[in-house]
Amino acid sequence: MQLNDPNFNKSAFIKKLESIIYLMFVLPLAFFGYAFLEREASGELRSVFYEDPDIMFHAVMAAGIGYVLLRTLATWKKDALKVLKQVPELDLKMIKLKKSIIYRNLMWSFGAAIGAFGLYEKGDMVYALVFSLFLILITANRPSPKYFSKFFGLKGEEKKWMEE
């Protein structure tokens, strides 16, 4: 196992990265809560998507959601691993991946904000599902020792170091 800095504190690094990610999600979460409570109080939550739809609004929202998902799910991991292939040190790989993880989660927070805005504007509960999708993506892919171990495909000594 190769490390650039033998004193690299992976736990502090992961906690700081996780904090940044959850801080980015605070605004969309607060906006979603406000939108949901506002629509619920006025009785304007709609559980059906197809009654009196605003096709243009929904098409723009779907395009935004599709862009975020394609940009972050289709090629993100492959591109990140291709860039990191030349770096043998595990701690440097984690440090170099930081900006990419922040970018991906910023995009997911933006996707969650799209869901919250759709709920606020139209009151359609389908946007609550969109918000929930991004919430699941953010929490399921949060940085953790196990996440990095699986992401890099670590085995043996490297896996043990990462997950201890």
How many other C-beta atoms lie within 10 A of the C-beta of residue 54? 12
Sign of torsion over alpha carbons 151, 3, 85, 160 = negative
Is there a contact between 76 and 107 (Cβ–Cβ < 8 Å)? no
pLDDT tens readout for residues 98-144: 999 999 999 999 999 999 999 999 888 899 999 999 999 999 999 99
pLDDT tens readout for residues 82-101: 988 888 888 899 999 999 99
Per-residue pLDDT at 8: 87
pLDDT for 30 beyond 80: yes
